[in-house]
Amino acid sequence: MQVRNSQFEKSLFNKVARVISGLEREVENELKVSFKLTFSQFRVLNGLLALGEASQRELASSLGVTPAVVTRQAEVLGVRGLVAQRANPRSKRENVLALTPKGEQAVVDASKLIADKQKELFSNLSLKDETAFERAVDVLSKELD
């Protein structure tokens, strides 16, 4: 019996979803092996690097996730000494988060690893194709924001 490819299987949407899933898996594996971080934890660290000190709500908004996600990740990162938490003077319900020196070093090193992995993964693309891909992703990102 011959299996037919559905329109969805042939669709650009499905191809993009598969590429994203593969890229996330590759990066997540590298982060786990080298830094014992999940991709979500890395995003929290990177968000704090960009924002400096931030409330959980501010960081969640910046990352496009719920405050609960930030709270869970900040607790884990705090235990590991990567993030410091203190009471938010403006809200009794949330904390203010900041990177520790150890956290700052971890996110800088992990960012370099991700940049190297990106370079490796895109090495089969010409500069023209890589630039076109980046432009297309930028356009799509703006549509989804």
Does some domain include residue 1?
A: no
User: Cα 139 to the chain's mean position, in Å?
Assistant: 19
- Residue type at 22 in one-letter notation: G
Over residues 94-133, the pLDDT tens digits come to: 889 999 999 999 999 999 999 998 888 889 999 999 899 8
Q: Pairing state of beta strands 54-55 and 83-88? A: unpaired
Specify the number of domains making up the chain: 1
Q: Which domain holds residue 90?
A: 11-144
- Tell which residue, 7, 98, 90, has the closest CA to residue 48: 98
Confirm whether 3 is domain-assigned.
no
Asked if residue 101 is part of any domain, the answer here is: yes
Asked if residue 53 belongs to a domain, the reply is: yes
In a domain, 17, yes or no: yes
pLDDT at 33 over 90: yes
**Is the CB of residue 77 less than 8 Å from the CB of residue 41?**
yes
Which amino acid appears at position 2 of this protein?
A: Q
Query: Lowest mean pLDDT: which of 1-5, 35-39, 97-101, 138-142?
Result: 1-5
Question: What's the CATH number where 132 sits?
Answer: 1.10.10.10
- pTM value > 0.75: yes
How does pLDDT run across 51-83, given as a tens digit for each residue?
999 999 999 999 999 999 999 999 999 999 999
Tens of pLDDT, residues 9-20: 778 888 888 888
Beta sheet of 83-88, edge-to-edge order: 54-55, 91-99, 83-88
Q: Name the DSSP class of 5.
A: P
